[in-house]
A and B are shown apart, each in its own frame.
Chain A
Amino acid sequence: MTVKEKIIRHLITMDDLTNEEIMTIIEEAKSFKEVLTRDIKKVPALRGKTVVLLFFESSTRTKISFELAAKRLSADVVNFSASTSSLKKSESLKDTVRTIEAMAADIFVMRHSYPGSTQLVAKYIKGSVLNGGDGAHSHPTQALLDMYTIYEKKKRFKDLKVAIIGDIKHSRVVRSDIEGLTRMGANVVLCGPSTLLPRYIEQFNVGVTYNVEEAIKDADVVMGLRIQFERQEQGLFPSVLEYSQFFQINRPRLKKAKPDVLLMHPGPINRGVELESEVADSVYSVIDEQVTNGVAVRMSLLYFLAGGKDEQVTD
């Protein structure tokens, strides 16, 4: 008699998913997107499961997106906010998550400003941990929704030129995007001032340029990244005005891309800094769609992980 045992899956980096699994999540997201267009935007797939949102760092879209995704799958959602918690009474991170887990939670969505913190928590608890962003390390669900948005429009990843422009150094989104997109065969080109490009980044199988026109030329996808003023030590570039003159994605520069280029941005946008305001609202922009797709992709992911795809026969 074989007994199948469920393996609890975490999603800390894109490395936790195989290429095949990424495609499953992306392809099924379409069905979940359809659920979002119904009058009653709710399906009973995760009834009885509890999803805890552990946000130790501020967030608008990721948190709301995960919350809606979980609620639309009929899971119960518990919100945890660091500022009103016992962390203020100096409870440790480990004790905090253990306490919450003791109240029977199944899936933890966590954001924290420390790289690796989600990995650490995954070791302490029995439920699935989904990384909602840890420092500048990784943000896999953003990568999945970016990939879904690209796939929905282009129907492929192979040989697409994806130009990512802006603050590469402080971006967790870009690390996950690079991982996912290059594995699927896209050509990723990074661009930004040399102070915002980490050293040795070429080793991740990406092109690097300091010339924004060259990055955008013939691109299928142009992605702007937010200049993260809150993570910046002083002096990485002389002034915002100078940055926008050299690196802003604006209309003349975007003309150099393919005519059916997609303009993406993980948000929040600094209008007039990394994106010209008109460009952000242009026909090329899929920035709002990225947000809608985020809910669908996270539903797809929650459904996938709650089911526990990977099984092992233990006899």
Chain B
Amino acid sequence: MKVKTQIMTKEEMFRSLKRVAHEIIEQHNGAKNLVILGIQRRGVPLGKIIKEEIEASENKKVPFGVLDITLYRDDLSTIGNAPRVNATDIPFDLNGKDVILVDDVLYTGRTIRAALDEIMDFGRPANIEVAVLIDRGHRELPILGNFIGKKIPTSKNEIIEVKLQEIDKKYGVFIVEKDSPVSNKKEKPKPTKKKPVRSLKKPVNTKKARKK
């Protein structure tokens, strides 16, 4: 995996987020009915930055929650590993609210689809909009980003890496070429050939299966 280019510096990221925050305020005529939900993991620090920007500008508290969509993913039955589950924490009522969903990269749209399903289990917001730092195209579902930091045309062989202080100890957005197995979780595993779901041959409870 090699880094091709840096497409945003820290300053550019913050400038974009600031603009996104102000677009949200403009569209909503203030921050009266707003709540912000950050999608685990990188949507959380990004959402906080947007929330703080809105609060500073409007001089009003905006409720902030955290959404983990792992249990709502549509590929749980096809991928081998059970992905790690993070915390969901929405300590307020969503009914009748204007929800802004924040994530780092908008790609296939499947994460947002899962997030929509999860939000509906929490209540009935007045409306839901999506704010992302990067829109890289290649949507697989009819989902759109309402507030976008930067649009970047990409090929499917590339990965967009958003680096954030809280998680990666630095800021920056990079395009990375995909070759070997990649650590970035954003990438949906391609539906490879239908693999056998289970095998009779595999011995169970053997030393091999548990490797301590």
Q: Does A40 contact B (CB under 8 A)?
A: yes
Tell whether A19 is near chain B: CB-to-CB under 8 Å.
yes
Say yes or no for B87: interface residue by CB 8 A criterion. Answer: yes
- Tally of B interface residues using CB under 8 Å: 37
Of A24-32, A172-180, A233-241, A272-280, the segment with at least 4 beta carbons within 8 Å of chain B is: A24-32
Given the contacts A12-B205, A42-B121, A309-B82, A19 and B198 also touching, CB distance less than 8 Å: no
**Chain A: minimal CB distance from B206 (Å):** 10
- Residue in B76, B80, B117, B121 whose beta carbon sits within 8 Å of that of A6 in the complex: B80
Interface flag for B88 (CB, 8 Å) = yes
Q: Is A115 an interface residue (CB 8 A)?
A: no
CB of B200 closer than 8 Å to a CB of A: yes
- Known contacts A16-B205, A306-B82, A126 near B198 by CB under 8 Å: yes
Measured CB to CB, the closest approach of chain A to B67, in angstroms, equals 11
A-side contacts of B199, CB under 8 Å: 5-8
Chain A contact residue count (CB 8 A cutoff): 48
Are A6 and B195 in touch, CB under 8 angstroms? yes
Find chain A residues with CB under 8 A from B193 CB: 3
Q: Which of B70-126 contact A (CB under 8 A)?
A: 70-72, 76-77, 79-89, 117-118, 121-123
- Complex CA gap A47/B117 in Å reads 14
**Bound-complex Cα distance A304 to B71 (A):** 11
A127 to B199, CA, bound (A): 10
Q: Determine the residue in chain A with the shortest Cβ distance to B211.
A: A18
Assess whether B210 is in contact with A17, with CB atoms less than 8 Å apart: yes
Q: Are A44 and B204 in contact (CB under 8 A)?
A: no
0/1 interface trace, chain B 175-212, chain A, CB 8 Å (1 if under): 00000000000000000110111111010110001111
Per-residue contact bits, chain A 48-59, to B (CB 8 Å; 1 contact, 0 not) = 110000000000
| B189 CB, nearest partner CB in chain A, Å | 10
> Using a Cβ cutoff of 8 Å, how many contacts connect chains A and B?
106
From known contacts A8-B198, A18-B210, infer whether A303 and B204 are also in contact, taking CB-CB under 8 Å.
no
B68: interface (CB < 8 Å) = yes
A38–B86 CA distance with the chains assembled, in angstroms: 16
Smallest CB–CB gap between A251 and chain B, Å?
37
B205/A10 in contact, CB under 8 A: yes
Distance (whole angstroms) from the CB of B130 to the closest CB of chain A: 21
Q: Is A158 an interface residue (CB 8 A)?
A: no
A39 engages B205 (CB within 8 Å)? no
Does A202 belong to the interface (CB within 8 Å)?
no
Q: Give A127 to B122 CA distance when docked, in angstroms.
A: 33
- Report chain A residues within 8 Å CB of B79: 307
B88 — nearest CB in chain A belongs to which residue?
A34
- Contact in complex: A8, B204 (CB < 8 Å): yes
B82 touches A304 (CB 8 A): yes
Contact check, A126 vs B76: say whether CB atoms are below 8 A apart: no
A300 to B88, CA, bound (A): 15
The answer to whether A7 touches B82 (Cβ under 8 A) is no
Bound: A248/B85 CA distance, A:
41
- Asked if A43 is an interface residue, CB under 8 A from chain B, the answer is yes
Binary per-residue interface labels of chain A (273-315) against chain B in the complex, 1 for a CB within 8 Å, 0 otherwise? 0000000000000000000000000001001101111111000
Once the chains bind, are A7 and B195 in contact (CB under 8 Å)?
no
A210 to B194, CA, bound (A): 59
Q: Is the CB of B121 within 8 A of A31?
A: no
Does A307 contact B205, Cβ atoms closer than 8 Å? no
Query: Pick the contact of B195 from A3, A39, A119, A304 — CB < 8 Å?
Result: A3
**Distance between Cα atoms of A240 and B148 in the complex (Å):** 72
Residues of B within 8 A of A7 (CB): 199, 202, 204, 209
Interchain CA distance A24-B199 in the complex, whole Å: 25
Q: When the two chains form their complex, are residues B89 and A34 in contact, meaning their CB atoms are under 8 A apart?
A: yes
Closest 9 interchain pairs by CB?
A: A307-B82, A43-B71, A45-B71, A40-B121, A31-B85, A28-B85, A311-B80, A18-B212, A8-B198
| Known contacts A6-B196, A6-B198, A32-B85; 9 further A-B pairs (Cβ under 8 A) | A3-B193, A7-B204, A8-B204, A17-B210, A18-B210, A122-B205, A307-B76, A308-B81, A310-B209
User: 10 A-B pairs, CB-CB below 8 angstroms?
Assistant: A3-B193, A4-B80, A6-B196, A8-B199, A9-B209, A10-B204, A35-B88, A39-B122, A47-B77, A49-B77
A residues bordering B, Cβ < 8 Å?
Answer: 3-10, 12, 15-19, 24, 28, 30-32, 34-35, 38-40, 42-49, 73, 119, 122-123, 126-127, 300, 303-304, 306-312
